[in-house]
Amino acid sequence: MQNGRAWLLGLIAFLIEPAKAPLIKQWQLEETATAPVLAVCQVDEVAKGGPVPAGVVKWQVPTDYAFTELEVLRVFRQADNISPKQGDRIRLQFYTYHEKTAAVTGSPVWPWFKKGDTVVVPLQQNPTPSRSTWRLTADEGMSITVPAIRQPWRSDEGPQTPIEFLFRELAGSLAYGLPDEAFRTASYLASQYAPILKSELMPLLETAVASHEGRWIEIATSLLSSLGIPRPSVADFRSGKWRTGSRSVDGVDALIAAVLEKLPPSARTEEQLIYRLIDDSGVHSWGSAMSLIEFANHRALVEHLKGALSQRKPGTVYIAWTLVNNGQKGFLPEALAYAMQLIEQPGEGTTEMQAACPLVRDYGTDTQFHGLVAAIRKYQHTDVQHYQILFGYSLYSGKNPREQEIAAVLLEDKRPFASELRYCDIGLAEMNRITGLQFGTVTSSIEARDKGVSRALAWLRSKEVQP
């Protein structure tokens, strides 16, 4: 789970004084293909090293060294470059975030390795091999590594070019991978602007998947869930309307349209897409939710989501919250029951809580909402991280008057949150926002803030809202 304190600190910092984020490099397939060595590796271990000395990286934020131990599964090398061999275990050094700066706006995007993942790593020899023999071809940016799976591409002939090697790995992930592996690959493809995605991947997928409808459904829902917003609907992809506007006709959209052509435009196909988007919501809850908006009034969606919520399937509360916000409330009782259970379970992912808290705040009964407030109060001292997540996702919305009761809990909490910012100061800022009144400012002296907190508490008592 993402560190609750780091996430909340970043959110509050942005709300108080939004920062200007620099442009972030998005590495493209053609650039990755120029690496001296492309190695498909499984991540065995990830560990932090010491701090990076000032001046080593261009960023003015604390940065740490990190190391990952990789098992080499297969390799493609350019010309006569030295490369690791299949079965080797290599140690790779990279830069990573210092814990206290992980959520600060304006930080670089460092590489990310997760134990158990399989990735294509673009390698070059390390000019300072005392730390590790190999290093990445780039220190920072999005999509430095390429998703892959442990299983190799099924072919008697090896790839002839680095780009062919990469496309085989991507196609293999989509065709043979588990839902999370297919989605990681789809998310990578959504960041790529190569005009050859469709022309290179579709022949490979057609060979691997053939007429296996269930697999085409899995590929389609993974790709759909990877898209941002605004996005074309399934109907737009089928009709060709996705080609209008500023969207690229050569990138992942063209690939999605081609994949959907493999599925008959029938009621059964719609149902299968709905079922798969709900069943895989634990992997891509946000993407599933966005993709299901066009099917919000479909009978199959309402019934299947009811069942999934009752079975407490991960990610389904996020889908329900999104669809309730879009007017579909056919499963609201089931969604609220699941949300209340999540609220009382410290350690749940922030994505789940991002939906559970506002769902109860905006649509729960008075009893359920007071249960949310009671949970915030309960975990205030017993589990500070869960406390931060609960109030963090219950505030910062529109101007729902119910938020006053949540802000009241914070106003009584004078413990430090970060540096000179206290929890009561967060409550003070929220009271200003929720009511439109000005009780005090969080950038003034502590004495002035205390007076503002007292004014806000007095105002709440006058409205019979008790902290």
Provide the β-strand partners of residue 91.
69
Structure confidence at residue 8 (pLDDT): 54
Give the mean model confidence (pLDDT) for residues 150-167.
92
Q: What pLDDT, in 10s, does the model give residues 104-127? A: 555 688 899 999 999 999 999 887
Nearest 10 degrees: Cα torsion 38, 39, 45, 47 = -20
Q: State the Cα–Cα distance between residues 271 and 275, nearest whole angstrom.
A: 6
Structure confidence at residue 243 (pLDDT): 81
Please say whether the beta carbons of 393 and 375 come within 8 A.
no
Give the mean model confidence (pLDDT) for residues 129-154.
89
Structure confidence at residue 100 (pLDDT): 61
Structure confidence at residue 323 (pLDDT): 98
Stretch among 120-129, 160-169, 215-224 having the lowest mean pLDDT? 120-129
Written in H, E and C, the secondary structure of the chain is CCCHHHHHHHHHHHHHCCCCCCCCCECCHHHHCCCCEEEEEEEEEEEEEEECCCCCCCCCCCEEEEEEEEEEEEEEECCCCCCCCCCCEEEEEEEEECHHHCCCCCCCCCCCCCCCCEEEEEEEECCCCCCCCEEECCCCCECCCEECCCCCCCCCCCCCCHHHHHHHHHHHHHHHCCHHHHHHHHHHHHCCCCCCHHHHHHHHHHHHHCCCHHHHHHHHHHHHHHCCCCCCCHHHHHHCHHHCCCCCCCCHHHHHHHHHCCCCCCHHHHHHHHHHHHHCHHHHHHHHHHHHHHHCCCHHHHHHHHHHHHCCCCCHHHHHHHHHHCCCCCCHHHHHHHHHHHHCCCCCCHHHHHHHHHHHHHHCCHHHHHHHHHHHHHHHHHCHHHHHHHHHHHCCCCCCCCHHHHHHHHHCCCCEEECCEEHHHHHHHHHHHHHCCCCCCCCCCHHHHHHHHHHHHHHHHHCCCCC
Residue 248 exposed, middle or buried by CB count within 10 Å (0-12, 13-18, 19+): middle
Q: List the structure tokens of 257.
A: 């349209």
Structure confidence at residue 1 (pLDDT): 38
Q: What pLDDT, in 10s, does the model give residues 187-207? A: 999 999 888 899 999 999 999
User: What confidence tier does 281 reach under pLDDT thresholds 50, 70, 90?
Assistant: very high
Q: State the Cα–Cα distance between residues 227 and 434, nearest whole angstrom.
A: 33
Nearest 10 degrees: Cα torsion 338, 114, 190, 156 = -120
* pLDDT of 103 strictly over 50: no
Give the mean model confidence (pLDDT) for residues 411-422.
92
* pLDDT of 242 strictly over 90: no
Closest CA to 281 of 253, 341, 321, 332: 321
Q: For the whole model, what pTM was predicted? A: 0.89
Closest CA to 224 of 171, 295, 277: 277
Q: State the Cα–Cα distance between residues 411 and 345, nearest whole angstrom.
A: 24
Structure confidence at residue 246 (pLDDT): 58
Give the mean model confidence (pLDDT) for residues 155-169.
92
In the predicted model, what is the mean pLDDT of the chain? 90
User: What confidence tier does 7 reach under pLDDT thresholds 50, 70, 90?
Assistant: very low
Contacts of 5 (CB under 8 A, 6+ apart): 385, 388, 418
* pLDDT of 41 strictly over 60: yes
